[in-house]
Amino acid sequence: MSDSPEEARRSIGAKRNPASADAIREAAQAVLVEAGYAGFSIEAVARRARAGKPTIYRWWPSKAALLIDVYQRQKRVDNPDTGSIEEDLVLFLKSLFRHWRETPSGNIFRSIIAEAQTDTAAATALSDYGRSRREHTGRMIQRAKERGEVAADVEPTLIADLVASYAWVHLLTGRIDEDEATIRRAVGVILNGVTKPAQGGKAPS
């Protein structure tokens, strides 16, 4: 399918036209609802959006990249700032699990993770997304460092990786219905570790 004023929305080169980009995202979301992940294709999105495939691939280099954009567009997850890092992480994980349970987003993201194991483009898109999420979650840890809750030598993105690992493994194994007490115990382990303090209150080196 080629771009033309009559049959496709006008492209403005590498820079996204906001109206066209929104139309493509809406079309992608509609195709996903109707056909599911297995039936999702750039061709189907192009037909529904009346956009050329070259335009879509110019703005989203792969099917996975477009799906992650749709996933992020649907995402409604709390970004709490309560003044307590434990409360922030518990509320964040509760909100994320609820979002995955109550919307198609959980299935979308699970499918993207699965495809990333065998598809290079999907792996790249997932890696880029994971990097942005580490930075986002890491800001909670950075705020806690500034409040003096977290040790100065703790790397925020490392803690963000631990939080994401807990969330992703629960998504992939169908355990996103955990109650608050269970989530709180996991957050406690992430924040406090598992090593038993030595006598005198100091952890062994």
For residues 168 and 90, what is the distance between their CA atoms, to the nearest angstrom? 15
- Find the helix or strand (DSSP H, E) in which 32 lies: helix 18-35
Q: What percent of the chain has pLDDT over 70?
A: 89
Average pLDDT over all residues of the chain: 88
CB atoms within 10 A of CB 31: 22
Residue 156: the pLDDT is 96
Residue 194: the pLDDT is 87
Residue 200: the pLDDT is 61
Question: Does the pLDDT value for residue 204 go beyond 50?
Answer: no
- Label residue 104 by pLDDT band (50, 70, 90): confident
Q: Up-side HSE of residue 65: CA atoms within 13 Å toward CB?
A: 12
Domains of the chain, first to last:
1-59 (1.10.10.60), 73-192 (1.10.357.10)
For residues 92 and 104, what is the distance between their CA atoms, to the nearest angstrom? 19
pLDDT, tens digit, 9 for 90 and up, residues 25-57: 999 999 998 998 889 999 999 999 999 999 999
Residue 75: the pLDDT is 84
Report the 3 state secondary structure along 100-132. Answer: HHHCCHHHHHHHHHHHHCCCHHHHHHHHHHHHH
Cβ within 8 Å of residue 159, ≥6 positions away: 137, 138, 141, 150, 190, 191
Average the pLDDT over 144-157 and give the result.
Answer: 95
pLDDT, tens digit, 9 for 90 and up, residues 54-77: 999 999 999 999 999 999 888 889
Residue 169: the pLDDT is 97
Average the pLDDT over 122-129 and give the result.
Answer: 94
